[in-house]
Amino acid sequence: MSRPTVLMPGPMNETVLTGTAEHFDVIRLWEADDPDAVLAERAKDITAIATGGTAIDGAFLDRLPALRIVASFGVGYDKIDAVAAAERGVIVTNTPGVLDDEVADTALGLLLMTARELSRAERYLRAGSWPDGAYPLTKATLNGRTMGILGLGRIGEAIAHRAQAFGIDIAYHNRHPKNVAYTYYPTLLELATAVDILMIVIPGGEETRHLVNAEVLKALGPDGILINIARGTVVDEAALAEALATNTILSAGLDVFEHEPQVHPALLDLPNAVLLPHVGSATIPTRNAMGQLVVDNLRSWFDNGVPLTPVQESADLVRKLNG
Ligand code: 8YV
């Protein structure tokens, strides 16, 4: 039997490259001289896509009539139109679960760096300033603080557990309350008003675009700290830069940006912003686990007709296919 053909629009990690090469015919589109010609020529064979960040919309899906599954690397899949895929009978999978702890660790690290100015203090030492005097005391402490989690899912809960070990009280805002002991706020504005630290964990995409705006930042207040390890699109970056420059909030720690790898220039100049280059899940073990789940989703689909971790938008389609 011939092996299924998997389209790979862009480069992926080694686990995905070796795992897919073992079981599938892989089209490495980024290496093609004329990608459009390759797509047109191979469209009828391509039944799967393995992707790690390439935008996939309805128009792209229409070019691949034989496509059945898109296996996406990462828990966030905002670059993939999963509704358009479901309408075309195409399942989308992501890689939930295997990165929760890593991203939660990054969130707490970023919070410590931001509240206690750790990266700034290190720069102070390396600049040779210590002999001139001790690094200034930080205004913020994590002691006795409250964290508001915007988007309490699996990663949010992993962050909450860690924050509780720091003695931080937890509150959250989701569309609906969950069966958890944390304080629920029905609106983001109420949450921002009530807490000292606003932790963004909500998925990206149109629905959550610029949810954290000037009004929310004002509600967070002059001692407030904003942390974002989710998607840059959730924050109005111009409003954030303005809020940091005018001390409307105290500081921000960001691992994600609206136009990665470009960073809003106003943020780069602000001393009260800690900026990381989207390293939330970026360890070799975790990225390998994510890569393995991409491969396992494809194998499970082609071997048994059952994707392992379909996204929510694919749920009805999966139910229908499984009778
Ligand atoms: C990765 C992420 O950086 O899982 C996600 O949604 O943002 C990160 O784990 C990203 O998937 C890399 O492509």
Render pLDDT for 133-189 as a digit per residue (tens, 0 to 9): 999 999 999 999 999 999 999 999 999 999 999 999 999 999 999 999 999 999 999
Q: Is the CB of 310 under 6 A from ligand 1?
A: no
- Residue 323: per-residue pLDDT: 77
* Cβ-Cβ contacts under 8 Å for 261 (sequence gap 6 or more): 277, 278
N-term to C-term CA, the chain: 26
State the Cα–Cα distance between residues 270 and 61, nearest whole angstrom.
41
Which protein residue's CA is at the shortest distance from atom 12 of ligand 1? 74
- Residue 35: per-residue pLDDT: 97
- Distance in Å, CA 256 to ligand 1 centroid: 10
The interface predicted TM-score of the complex, written ipTM, equals 0.95
197 within 8 A of 229, measured Cβ to Cβ: no
Of 51, 70, 75, which is best to mutate to test ligand 1, by the most ligand atoms within 8 angstroms of its C-beta? 75
Which residue from 18, 148, 31, 158 is spatially nearest to 96, judged by alpha carbons? 158
State the Cα–Cα distance between residues 64 and 90, nearest whole angstrom.
10
Longest dimension (CA), the chain: 74
Looking at every residue in the chain, the average pLDDT score rounds to 97
CA angle 275, 276, 280 (to 5 degrees): 140
Q: Is the CB of 77 under 6 A from ligand 1?
A: no
Which residues does the chain have with pLDDT short of 50? none
Active site residue 278: yes
Q: Is the CB of 154 under 6 A from ligand 1?
A: no
- Residue 209: per-residue pLDDT: 98
Active site residue 88: no
- Residue 322: per-residue pLDDT: 85
pLDDT digits 0-9 by tens, 60-72: 999 999 999 999 9
Query: Of all atoms in ligand 1, which is nearest to the CA of residue 278?
Result: 3
Q: Is the pTM of this model over 0.90?
A: yes
* Residue tagged active-site, from 68, 145, 231, 264: 231
CATH of domain 100-275: 3.40.50.720
Specify the CATH class of 5-98+285-321 in words. alpha beta
Q: How far is CA 69 from the centre of its chain?
A: 21
Reported residue count of the chain is 323
State phi, psi for 49 to the nearest 5 degrees: -125, 135
Start and end residues for every CATH 3.40.50.720 domain found in the chain: 5-98+285-321, 100-275
Active site residue 173: no
